[in-house]
């Protein structure tokens, strides 16, 4: 990867881009696990036209770029990354509104705000997203979800795909499109829109009673408090649950007696074995080594390959 000549690039970019430009911004400040080196450029576009101006500029200058949400499912190399990270969190990307039972939310809206907005409007159906620390853009991209605690079924999963009606996207050349749900290939922790920037989405909810919605939100939040790692920095579930077995990735790691295993300051959570925590100064390499150790152990014991859920960004390839 070539390095970007920052000052020159900044001057040229500032001629076409209205939003905030930061140089050498540490991604550790933008990831939940608090790991990540500096990226050459960190951009906050003002609106859609500004986003298009940025990507046209970056494409022309041959500078790789990524979209970052709230950084809650990201593991980023702590080396310098000669790329641009684009964050959609300016006011334009924070819009949320409703018409009847349909809620429009732009990419930068946090899931917490989305869930609370729906509650305040007496709209039910998004409570399962309570406690997931992502943005609408990241949640649609990852098809975020949780176990269905409405029905109490341990088998059933609720995911954002269930309530999505359509998604507004921009492709890597800057073209806009609205894609209906039937044309989106949602699957477990994926929406299949890998080549698109998610700008906003429309969600269909059901009329509900605010107190009942609030109770359901509490059920989901309490479950997170009981089962997930909330004290130490982490990146959520490291691995997808394997399709080959009904046993979750966390249960497999637990059964392999790996809970608590540490490499430096990176450790497998005692609370949830599918979470790796940063106990202080964990490095990218330590977390990666722990990931490999878990994969090897689970493969040797159960012949199951655990596939990362967390998105890994390093110099070799931006997943
Ligand atoms: C404590 C904790 C608990 C969690 N619990 C859950 C859970 O219960 N269920 C669950 O599903 N997840 C969970 N997660 C993972 C994470 O919160 C979700 O995957 C979330 O949806 C990611 O959103 P984000 O905005 O943080 O995305 P990021 O982590 O910033 O990005 C994730 C991916 O989405 C892409 N992306 C982000 N925004 C856009 C956009 N606008 N357009 C295109 N691509 C985009 C990024 O490029 C990256 O590839 C948890 C994480 C933590 C830290």
- Could you tell me where the beta strands, DSSP code E, fall in 96-185? 96-99, 102-106, 123-124, 145-147, 157-159, 164-171, 176-180
Give me the residue label for tokens 């046993």. 247
Q: Name the band, by pLDDT with cuts 50, 70 and 90, for residue 318.
A: low
What digits encode the pLDDT tens for the residues 17-42?
Answer: 999 999 999 999 999 999 999 999 99
Cβ–ligand 1 distance for 130 under 6 Å, the answer no
Distance 101 CA to ligand 1 centre (A): 25
Q: Name the band, by pLDDT with cuts 50, 70 and 90, for residue 311.
A: very high
d(CA 141, CA 161): 10
Cβ–ligand 1 distance for 111 under 6 Å, the answer no
- Kindly list the distances between the CA atom of residue 35 and the CA atoms of 70, 187, 264, in Å, as whole numbers in the listed order: 13, 28, 14
| pLDDT mean over 128-149 | 95
Distance 5 CA to ligand 1 centre (A): 31
**6 three-state secondary structure:** helix
Q: Please, is 174 exposed, middle or buried when counting C-beta atoms within 10 Å of its C-beta (0-12, 13-18, 19+)?
A: middle
Locate the domains of the chain by residue range.
6-87, 93-227, 249-313
What's the count of helices (H) and strands (E) in the chain, helices before strands?
A: 7, 18
What digits encode the pLDDT tens for the residues 48-99?
Answer: 999 999 999 999 999 999 999 999 999 999 999 999 999 999 999 999 999 9
Task: Please check the confidence at residue 230 and state whether its pLDDT lies above 90.
Answer: no
| pLDDT mean over 281-302 | 97
| pLDDT mean over 182-202 | 96
Distance 134 CA to ligand 1 centre (A): 5
Cβ–ligand 1 distance for 28 under 6 Å, the answer no
**Which pLDDT score, from 0 to 100, does residue 153 have?**
59
Alpha-carbon Rg for the chain in angstroms: 20
**CATH code for residues 249-313:** 3.90.78.10
Class of domain 6-87: alpha beta
Q: Please give the number of the atom of ligand 1 that sits closest to the Cα of 66.
A: 47
d(CA 263, CA 255): 19
| pLDDT mean over 150-168 | 85
Question: How would you label 288-315 residue by residue, b for 16+ Cβ within 10 Å and e otherwise?
Answer: bebbeebbebbeeebebebebbbbbbbe
Q: Please give the number of the atom of ligand 1 that sits closest to the Cα of 32.
A: 53
Cβ–ligand 1 distance for 36 under 6 Å, the answer no
What digits encode the pLDDT tens for the residues 160-186?
Answer: 999 999 999 999 999 999 999 999 999
Which of 114, 134, 189, 219 to probe ligand 1 with, by most ligand atoms within 8 A of CB?
134
**315 three-state secondary structure:** coil
**CATH code for residues 93-227:** 3.30.465.10
**72 three-state secondary structure:** coil
Determine which residue's CA is closest to atom 20 belonging to ligand 1.
134
Distance 31 CA to ligand 1 centre (A): 10
**Which pLDDT score, from 0 to 100, does residue 244 have?**
82
Give the rounded percent of residues in the chain with a pLDDT score beyond 70: 95
Task: Please check the confidence at residue 151 and state whether its pLDDT lies above 80.
Answer: no
**Which pLDDT score, from 0 to 100, does residue 316 have?**
78
Task: Please check the confidence at residue 205 and state whether its pLDDT lies above 90.
Answer: yes
| Nearest alpha carbon to residue 248 among 257, 258, 237 | 237
Cβ–ligand 1 distance for 132 under 6 Å, the answer yes
Cβ–ligand 1 distance for 136 under 6 Å, the answer no
Determine which residue's CA is closest to atom 34 belonging to ligand 1.
138
Task: Please check the confidence at residue 122 and state whether its pLDDT lies above 80.
Answer: yes
What average pLDDT is seen over the chain? 94
Which of 72, 90, 162 to probe ligand 1 with, by most ligand atoms within 8 A of CB?
72
């Amino acid at each position: 990867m070539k390095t970007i000549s920052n000052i020159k690039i900044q001057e040229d970019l500032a001629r076409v881009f209205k939003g905030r430009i930061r140089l050498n911004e540490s991604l550790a400040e933008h990831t939940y696990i608090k790991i990540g080196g500096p990226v050459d450029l960190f951009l906050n576009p003002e609106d859609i036209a500004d986003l298009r101006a940025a990507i046209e500029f970056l494409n022309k200058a041959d500078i790789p770029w990524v979209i970052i949400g709230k950084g809650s499912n990201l593991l980023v190399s702590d080396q310098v990354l000669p790329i641009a990270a684009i964050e959609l969190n300016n006011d334009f990307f924070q819009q949320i509104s409703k018409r009847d039972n349909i809620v429009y939310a732009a990419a930068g809206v946090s899931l917490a705000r989305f869930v609370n907005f729906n509650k305040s409007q007496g709209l039910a159906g998004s409570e399962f997203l309570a406690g997931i620390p992502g943005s609408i853009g990241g949640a649609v991209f990852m098809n975020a979800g949780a176990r269905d605690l409405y029905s109490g079924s341990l088998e059933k999963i609720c995911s954002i795909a269930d309530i999505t009606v359509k998604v507004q996207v921009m492709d890597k050349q800057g073209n806009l499109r609205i894609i209906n749900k039937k044309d989106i290939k949602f699957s477990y922790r994926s929406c299949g829109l890998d080549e698109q920037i998610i700008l906003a989405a429309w969600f269909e909810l059901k009329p509900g009673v605010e107190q009942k919605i609030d109770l359901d939100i509490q059920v989901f939040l309490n479950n997170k408090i009981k089962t997930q790692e909330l004290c130490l920095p982490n990146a959520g579930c490291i691995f997808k649950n394997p399709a080959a077995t009904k046993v979750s990735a966390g249960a497999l790691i637990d059964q392999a007696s790996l809970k608590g295993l540490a490499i430096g300051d990176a450790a497998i959570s005692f609370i949830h074995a599918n979470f790796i925590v940063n106990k202080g100064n964990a490095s990218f390499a330590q977390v990666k080594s722990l990931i490999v150790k878990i994969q090897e152990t689970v493969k040797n014991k159960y012949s199951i390959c655990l596939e990362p859920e967390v998105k890994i960004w390093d110099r070799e390839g931006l997943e």
